[in-house]
Chains A and B, each alone.
Chain A
C-alpha cells in the first residue's frame, strides 16, 4: 500500500462526533472548569485515564507541586456610587478580582481618587487606562485599593487569569471599560465612592499529568509525543467557566489522533501522549515533564495543541528547539490537508518542551470566549476540530515515513 493511500485511510477514520462528545463531557458541570488541584480537575483526569485505557494505552499519572493557585472563594460584592445614586456591580462582567490582589473579605469603603494625581489615603484609586499597575503602585500610601480597566469579550465577560504576579499589599479590582470610564470621571470630579471585597486566596495544590504510551519506538526510531493541557482556569462561585475551546478541544484532538495512530503508524515509530495539568498557572505540568524527558535522555518530536475551537484564517504555529524538520513536515501536512498555517504565538506548553531542547511545535486554531463563561461547547466549530486533527495525523504520518530530504511521499508539490 502506498504512503498516500495509508494516509488517506488514517484521515478517513476521523470522527468529529467523538471529539464533540469529549468536549461536552470535559466542559460539563461535574468537571467544574478543571482548575489544577480541584475536585473537578480530578474528575476530568479520571475520565481521561479511562478514555486512554480504552484504546489499550499504558497509562500512568505523575504528580508535581503547584504553589499559590488563586481561588476566588466567594462572590465579591462591589458597589459604587456618586451624587446620582449607587450601582451594585455584576461579578464577571462589570467587576472581577485581579490576580495581584490582596485577600480582603470585609468590605472596604472609600472615596474615589485618580491614581497618581490625588491623595491616596483611605481612597480607592482609579488607575487610568494608560497607566500600568506597577506605576500605579508608586504612591498608594494608606489607599483602600486599586481599580484597573479590563476589556471584555464580545459577550461582555471579563477573562480570568491564574498565572500572574504574587499578591501585592492592596485589594485590586478590574472594571469593564464602561464602568471604569464612569468611575474615573467621578474620581476626577472629586465625587463618588466604592465599597468592595476581594475574596481571593492562594492554595498550594498538587498538579497531575497523564501519560500514555501507545507504541514503543524501535532503537533509534522516531518518537512522537502529542500533548494538550486538560486543566482550565476553573469555575468561580456562581460563575461557570467551562473551558471548552481552552482546552477541551486540544484534548479531544489528541485523543482522537491517539486512537487512530495507535494502529496506524509504521512499525518502529513510537507514540506517547501527555495530557498536561497546570498550564493555566504557568505551564508547570509541561515544565515537569520536559525535565523528566531530559533526564531520561529521550528526544521526542512534540506536537502540542492548544485551542482548536474556531479557525480564523490560519492556524497559528509556534516552534521551539531544533524543530526545522518538524516544521517542514507540518507545512507539507498543511498543504495536503488544506489547513492554512501562519507563524504566530502559541503561548502554551510547547514553549517548555522547546525551551528544554526538544523539537516542539504548538498549534493554536482559535477559541471563543477566552477564559470566560462564553467558552462553551456550542462555540466550538466542528470543521476546525476536523481540520486540526487531520493536520496532526498527517504530520505524524509524515514524521514516520518521510525521508530526511522530505521529498513528498504523499504526492504534494510546491
Chain B
C-alpha cells in the first residue's frame, strides 16, 4: 500500500506567506506577477520598472511610492503611477 502525498487543496507552503505579499502596503499596488492571471499582462509593469518616479529613486526607497519618487513625480506633473 502506498501513501498518497500529492498536494491537492489548501496552501502550498506557509499560509502566513499571504500576509507578506510585496506591495500590499503600497498605494500603487503590487508589481505585476503572473499569479492566477489576475493582473495586467506580464511586461506592462515589472519589478524593475517602478510605477512612479525614477528607477533609482524607487529602488533606493524600496517602494514605488517612496518619498523621493513621489516628489519627483509630482514635480513633473504626474501622479503616483505612470
Q: Which residue of chain B has the shortest Cβ distance to A351 in the bound complex? A: B24
Q: Which residue of chain A has the shortest Cβ distance to B20 in the bound complex? A: A343
Residues of A within 8 A of B52 (CB): 134, 165
Interface of B is mostly: loop
Residues of B within 8 A of A340 (CB): 7-10, 12
In Å, the complex CA distance between A204 and B63 comes to 29
In Å, the complex CA distance between A365 and B36 comes to 6
Residues of A within 8 A of B77 (CB): 137, 166, 168-169
Which of under 10, 10 to 19, 20 to 34, or 35 or more describes the interface residues of A? 35 or more
Residues of A within 8 A of B72 (CB): 134
Against A, the Cβ 8 Å flags (1 = close, 0 = not) of B15-59 are 111111111110001100101111111111000011011110000
Contact A347–B30 (Cβ < 8 Å): yes
Residues of B within 8 A of A323 (CB): 18-19
Residues of A within 8 A of B80 (CB): 165
Stretch at the interface among A235-243, A258-266, A289-297, A366-374: A366-374
Query: How many inter-chain residue pairs (CB < 8 Å) link A and B?
Result: 172
Q: Taking A306-B38, A370-B39 as contacts, is the C-beta distance between A334 and B33 under 8 angstroms?
A: no
Give the residues from 326 to 377 in chain A that come closer than 8 angstroms, CB to CB, to chain B. 327-328, 330-332, 334-347, 351, 354-355, 361, 364-368, 370-371
In Å, the complex CA distance between A317 and B18 comes to 6
Contact A132–B55 (Cβ < 8 Å): yes
**A195 contacts B by Cβ under 8 Å:** no
In Å, the complex CA distance between A166 and B74 comes to 10
**A12 contacts B by Cβ under 8 Å:** no
Contact A318–B15 (Cβ < 8 Å): no
Give the residues from 267 to 320 in chain A that come closer than 8 angstroms, CB to CB, to chain B. 306-307, 310-320
- Nearest CB of B to A275, in Å: 19
**A324 contacts B by Cβ under 8 Å:** yes
What 7 A-B pairs have minimum CB-CB distances, sorted nearest first?
Answer: A165-B79, A344-B35, A335-B10, A343-B17, A345-B30, A334-B10, A364-B38
Residues on B lying within 8 angstroms of A by beta carbon are: 7-25, 29-30, 33, 35-44, 49-50, 52-55, 72-73, 76-82
Residues on A lying within 8 angstroms of B by beta carbon are: 100, 132-135, 137, 150-153, 159, 161, 163-166, 168-169, 306-307, 310-320, 323-324, 327-328, 330-332, 334-347, 351, 354-355, 361, 364-368, 370-371
